[in-house]
Amino acid sequence: MSADFPVALILIFGAALIPPLRGAVRRAYMLLLPLAAFICLLAVPQGMHGQVELLGHNLVLMRVDKLSLLFCYIFLLAALLAVIYALHVEDTLQHVSGLIYAGSALGAVFAGDLLSLFIYWELTAVSSVLLIWARRGEHSAATGMRYVIVQLLSGLFLLAGGLMHWRATGSLEFGQIGLTGTAGALILIAFGIKSAFPFLHNWLMDAYPEATPTGTVFLSAFTTKLGIYALARGFPGTEELIWIGTLMAAFPIFYAVIENDLRRVLAYSMNNQLGFMVVGIGIGSELAINGAVAHAFADILFKGLLFMSMGAVLLRTGTIKGSELGGLYKSMPWTTGFCVVGAASISAFPLFSGFVTKSMIMSAAADEGLLLTWLVLLFASAGVFHHAGIKIPYFAFFSHDSGIRCAEAPRNMLVAMAISAALCIGIGVFPRGLYSLLPFVVDYEPYTASHIVSQLQLLFFSALAFAVLMRTGIYPPELRSVNLDSDWLYRRAAHGFATTFHDTLTKTRAGLAAGIFAHAEAVIGLIDRQRRPGGLLMRSWPTGNMALWVMVMLLAYLLFYYAGNGHA
Amino acid sequence: MSLALHLPALQVVLPLISAPLAVLLRHGGLAFATVTAAAWTAFACAIGLWLQIGQAEGGVISYAIGNWPPPWGIEYRVDRLASFVLLLVSGMAALVLPWSRASIEREIPRDLHYLYYAMFGLCLTGLLGITITGDAFNIFVFLEISSLSSYVLIALGRDRRALTAAYQYLIMGSIGATFIVIGIGFLYLMTGTLNLADMALRIREVENTRPVLVALAFLTVGISLKLALFPLHQWLPSAYTYAPSAVTAFLAATATKVSVYVLIRFYFTVFGESLVFDKLPLPQIMLWLSLIAMFGASAIAIFQDNLKRLFAYSSVGQVGYITLGLSFDSVNGLTASIVHLFNHGIAKGAIFLLIGGLVIGMAKAGAVPPAPTFDRLAGLAKRMPLTSFGIVIGGLSLIGVPGTVGFVSKWYLIVAALEKDQFWLVGAILLSSLLAVAYVWRFVEVAYFRAPPVGQEARCEAPLALLLPAWLLVIATIWFGLDTSLTVGSALDAAQQMVKSGR
């Protein structure tokens, strides 16, 4: 196949052929699509391919370099895993939209210019929302609507910024953009929405927990990582990103701790992991960029794995509330095991993938002498261990037995989780493989004594605290119905702080919202009255009324003409 | 070849003859064959003219009717813009006519069928004539032909409100036509000629006189009424809603578009840009009216319960984009207008044809099709997957999603706005697309995410004869969204020619 053929189209148009297929043929075909795309990709040399002209602009549909290839590999891998995970689902809508979504994310990664980036950008938004709507409830419909509006808005920012960039520089090429002028700012906002920057992040926590169990696995892989890729491409070394990322890594921790919906906990922890990557991009040194994209690679795998295990729980038990689960390790031993691997990876245990990637970002921050950032990231690492590393598996699978007895996850789900888990461990044990794919040459050794010791110290002290509290009985007996998080440490310290933090925020927001809502209700009421029969919006106008308007317009034109033309 | 030389005349004369023939034949099937044959030949003529324009000197073909040379005789004058509009109008007619055979079966009493075809032929004649003629009074004559026939066509709708709608359109259309003829009268008074090209030369000497300004005002209001520019759009929603489906599709795709053409013709060819855009505050007025249309009409569309009416209001909004492009007074702005005129024509044509198929698919055999109100559309995607999907694609084009024609037009609009450094307008254009998202979403939600009413789950896809032409248009909305060489190429040529002639 020619190098000019956009690989993304294999998935996008390939997905269109799914509906008529049935049963085993469909399943085989869906597995084949990412593999076929991967094989095509192997034949493509690095460089700018697929140049076409649209609307008088030269578009580059296939910019193949190490950065885009890395994201492409992981996107294809994620697509394959998500397809395997979703094989048991009998819902054409989900299959088609999932693959189109993966394909458009792929296309966006290869886009060498802002216009084709925009086109794929919007396509990811439109295709991914179907995964949320596929849950088919009032609630998911509303959530999906909010989600898609935010995503489309991000596209609009990108288009507006891209056009201004084009006006300023005369080129639509998507390279280093930098935070210069309005154009750069608009594009940064667009990327920021996708990467869930603080205050632009709500769609993530809102939408991901509302998708179908399999849909969330798709969602978790592409949208935010596409944002990270775009940032790495357009804004490396932008100092503002360091602070944005630091904030991102820290604040979701508080929310993750008090959240009860375990998939939402994961959404918060995803936001926190994205913070690490954004910091890396902001630092902009070779090590930092390597670390950011490597962490994105690893995050897709372990966060996918965690979402998969939670999806399996949701599928089998019908709930995902931490307070209603517990003791599932008896029923779902395999899922439990895989979840623990994911938890260990996200907590960056040595020999797991998070360790070899996250430590690059930490080291880069230390190299640059960013003490505050480094400390916050350290705190965030401890936080991750607590809410994702312990809380998720503990509440779902251990804790006090909820009495739920269910079947083990379907076999295809287990296969997908097993592959992900194997990869998590594989990357952790043999980091060289991943390192060789990174955009810059890696001269970094994760397994030094000081790295391992400091990381283990961090983890073991957290675990020790947890264990001691459990043992000594200070750990409160469960109050499952009330509390979200029955951890003494959190109840006394972090929880209190988090709650205050949350309350203040909610209050300010509520105050603002009350004002806005009061007005909005008045407007909606007005509109509602007008849309009833006989209202302004529904009325067929009487003819005389129309004729009157004609006269008004004529007079207006005459007046304007005389005024505009002076006294002719 | 002598026939090729007479293409401009044949373009209009063939449909004109087909109409009385249809009446004389007094038979639905024969009338159908006659008018359809005429429409297809007209389409062939339009293609021929379009090809000839490419070679013609200066990109203009002038044809003297009856060999009376202009400016004394009536001149048919085909330039790039005219040829592009001729393509759209005759192409839509060639597509809608075969479609309508199956659709009017259910919507119009059988003994009126031949009259329907006759009226359709006349309407087509009028629209083609307006486009091709180079004579001001001739424009008025053809305008009346097309308008009177379209009143009748609308009144053929089964809903009793069709009659009121047609009557209202009749009154408003007559006022519009009167204004236009008054405007032309003033111009004749001041220049002593009716030939547009001649008039354009002579108007330079008198362009600052009050009668010329009054003529401009009358023409602007008269034509704005015909093209449904806000706030003179009020006849349109009812007319589109209650007319037979085929009529709605044809008029939505062509009638307002031809009116836009007339406006461009008068502004750029006759009055000239320097008068219209530089000396008078017309661009500002048009800009604001367009913005109000884009936002106001789209917002009203969101609240409609009848799908036809919803898309009728959306048409008013989309006309706003076309006039917005005009108000920029630049090659890119005019290109955007012309491209959107074509693009919106095919997208809206597709949507209305699909809605026509939809109501027929929903009706019980032999019964009058019901109005496509939202409560009847629940779960439509299950019952009519192809129809629903087609409407969604048409809707995506209205939103301006990349890959559809709507995106191409919006792109040029945005480029034109950027040229003028009007960044806020870029924002406005993009924001107004969100309103389109909202009304298209209403359809998607009802059709795809609601369960069909109990007892109506069975597949009831519209007949193939209705689906095929509609899907041709749906495919065209994607085709021309990806391959813009024909549409943008023609529009750009036309815009350059227009702007050159206006300076």
Residue in the structure block whose two tokens are 């397994």: A447
- Alpha-carbon Rg for chain A, nearest whole angstrom, is 26
Nearest to A562 by CA among B216, B189, B225: B216
At B426, is the secondary structure helix, strand, or coil?
helix
What total of structural domains would you count in chain B?
A: 1
Q: State how far residue A174 is from chain B, nearest Cα, in angstroms.
A: 18
Residue B127: its pLDDT value, please? 95
At B77, is the secondary structure helix, strand, or coil?
strand
**CB within 8 Å of A194: residues ≥ 6 apart:** A121, A151, A154, A223, A224, A226, A227, A230
Residue A558 and residue B300: Cβ atoms within 8 Å?
no
A 10 A CB-CB count for A326 gives 20
For residues A420 and A81, is the Cβ–Cβ distance under 8 A? yes
Residue B89: its pLDDT value, please? 94
Tens of pLDDT, residues B130-176: 999 999 999 999 999 999 999 999 998 888 888 888 988 999 999 99
Residue A483 burial (C-beta neighbours within 10 Å; 0-12, 13-18, 19+): middle
Report the Cα A119 to chain-centroid distance in Å: 19
- Mean of pLDDT values over B309-336: 91
Rounded Cα distance, B173 and A278, in Å = 61
Structure tokens at A213: 């169990």
Q: Which of A94, A543, A545, A555 is the best mutation test for B, with the most CBs of B within 10 A?
A: A543
CB proximity B430 to A under 8 Å: yes
Query: Searching chain A, which residue's CA lies closest to the CA of residue B485?
Result: A55
CA quadruple A40, A42, A44, A50: dihedral sign: positive
For residues A151 and A158, is the Cβ–Cβ distance under 8 A? no
A 10 A CB-CB count for B60 gives 17
Structure tokens at A379: 């705190």
Question: How much of chain B exceeds pLDDT 90, in percent?
Answer: 44
Residue B160 burial (C-beta neighbours within 10 Å; 0-12, 13-18, 19+): exposed
At A270, is the secondary structure helix, strand, or coil?
helix
Q: Which of A541, A562, A567 is the best mutation test for B, with the most CBs of B within 10 A?
A: A541
Lowest model confidence (mean pLDDT) among A511-520, B37-46, B63-72, B106-115: A511-520
The shortest CB-CB distance from B411 to any of A55, A122, A133 is to: A55
Residue B209 and residue A560: Cβ atoms within 8 Å?
no
Structure tokens at A141: 């419909």
The shortest CB-CB distance from A546 to any of B216, B234, B423 is to: B234
Nearest to B123 by CA among B237, B243, B16: B16
Lowest model confidence (mean pLDDT) among A144-158, A461-475, B199-213, B483-497: A461-475
Tens of pLDDT, residues B216-263: 889 999 999 998 888 888 889 989 999 999 999 999 999 999 999 999
**CB within 8 Å of B461: residues ≥ 6 apart:** B361, B383, B384, B385, B386, B387, B467
Q: Which of A116, A565, A567 is the best mutation test for B, with the most CBs of B within 10 A?
A: A565
> Does residue A509 have a pLDDT over 70?
no
The shortest CB-CB distance from B216 to any of A546, A556, A561 is to: A561
DSSP string, A418-485: HHHHHHHHHHHH-HHHHHHHSSS-----S--HHHHHHHHHHHHHHHHHHHHHHHHT-SPPP-TTT-S-
Residue A152 and residue B434: Cβ atoms within 8 Å?
yes
- Which range among A298-312, B96-110, B357-371 has the greatest average pLDDT? A298-312
Rounded Cα distance, B348 and B325, in Å = 19
The shortest CB-CB distance from A160 to any of B231, B234, B426 is to: B426
Residue A119 and residue B402: Cβ atoms within 8 Å?
yes
Residue B217 and residue A550: Cβ atoms within 8 Å?
no
Rounded Cα distance, A68 and A76, in Å = 12
H/E stretch holding B338 reads helix B331-362
**CB within 8 Å of A473: residues ≥ 6 apart:** none
Whether the pTM exceeds 0.90: the reply is no
Rounded Cα distance, A67 and A232, in Å = 9
> Does residue B502 have a pLDDT over 60?
no
Tens of pLDDT, residues A535-556: 555 556 677 777 888 888 888 8
Residue A477: its pLDDT value, please? 33
Rounded Cα distance, B490 and A410, in Å = 58
Q: What's the Cα-to-Cα distance from B227 to each of A198, B83, B233, B276, B311, rounded to whole Å?
A: 47, 19, 8, 18, 16
Query: What's the one-letter identity of residue A154?
Result: S
Residue ranges making up the domain that contains B330: 281-503
For residues A350 and A455, is the Cβ–Cβ distance under 8 A? yes
Average pLDDT, chain B: 88
Considering only residues A442 and B293, tell me which one the structure prediction assigns the higher pLDDT: B293
Query: Searching chain A, which residue's CA lies closest to the CA of residue B435?
Result: A149
ipTM above 0.85? Answer: no
- Residues of chain B contacting A556 with CB distance shorter than 8 Å: 285
CB proximity A189 to B under 8 Å: no
DSSP string, A236-248: TT-HHHHHHHHHH
Confidence of residue A517 (pLDDT cuts 50, 70, 90): low
Report the Cα B354 to chain-centroid distance in Å: 17
Rounded Cα distance, A415 and A312, in Å = 12
β-partners of residue B77 are: B62
Average pLDDT, chain A: 81
- Residues of chain A contacting B300 with CB distance shorter than 8 Å: 537
> Does residue B80 have a pLDDT over 60?
yes
> Does residue B288 have a pLDDT over 50?
yes
Side-chain half-sphere CA neighbours of A564 within 13 A: 20
DSSP string, A315-356: HHHS--BGGG---GGGT-HHHHHHHHHHHHHHTT-TTSHHHH
Residue A549 and residue B232: Cβ atoms within 8 Å?
yes
Side-chain half-sphere CA neighbours of A235 within 13 A: 30
Rounded Cα distance, B43 and B49, in Å = 10
Considering only residues A263 and A401, tell me which one the structure prediction assigns the higher pLDDT: A263
- Does residue B502 belong to any structural domain of this protein? yes
- Does residue B342 belong to any structural domain of this protein? yes
- Residues of chain A contacting B403 with CB distance shorter than 8 Å: 119
Tens of pLDDT, residues A108-135: 999 988 888 998 998 898 888 888 888 8
Residue A553 and residue B221: Cβ atoms within 8 Å?
yes
Nearest to B389 by CA among A19, A99, A151: A19
Residue B284: its pLDDT value, please? 86
For residues B185 and B178, is the Cβ–Cβ distance under 8 A? no
Rounded Cα distance, A192 and A235, in Å = 11
In A235-285, alpha helices (H): 239-258, 262-283
Residue B234 and residue A152: Cβ atoms within 8 Å?
no
- Does residue B382 belong to any structural domain of this protein? yes
Rounded Cα distance, A236 and A241, in Å = 9
Cis bond leading into A350, ω under 30°?
no
- Does residue B122 belong to any structural domain of this protein? no
Nearest to B353 by CA among B256, B257, B246: B246
For residues A76 and A301, is the Cβ–Cβ distance under 8 A? no
Confidence of residue A209 (pLDDT cuts 50, 70, 90): confident
**Helix and strand totals (H; E) in chain A:** 22, 2
> Does residue B268 have a pLDDT over 70?
yes
Confidence of residue B493 (pLDDT cuts 50, 70, 90): confident
Lowest model confidence (mean pLDDT) among A359-363, A374-378, A514-518, A552-556: A514-518
> Does residue A3 have a pLDDT over 80?
no
CA quadruple A510, A514, A515, A519: dihedral sign: positive
Residue B69: its pLDDT value, please? 84
Assign 3-class secondary structure to B145-209. Answer: HHHHHHHHHHHCCCCCHHHHHHHHHHHHHHHHHHHHHHHHHHHHHHHCCCEHHHHHHHHHHHCCC
DSSP string, A485-540: ---HHIIIIIHHHHHHHHHHHHHHHHHHHHHHHHHHHHHHHHHHHHHSTTSTTTPP
Rounded Cα distance, A322 and A483, in Å = 10
The span from the first CA to the last CA of chain B, in angstroms, equals: 35
Rounded Cα distance, B115 and B31, in Å = 8
Rounded Cα distance, A75 and B338, in Å = 41
Residue B171 and residue A547: Cβ atoms within 8 Å?
yes
At B349, is the secondary structure helix, strand, or coil?
helix
CB proximity A541 to B under 8 Å: yes
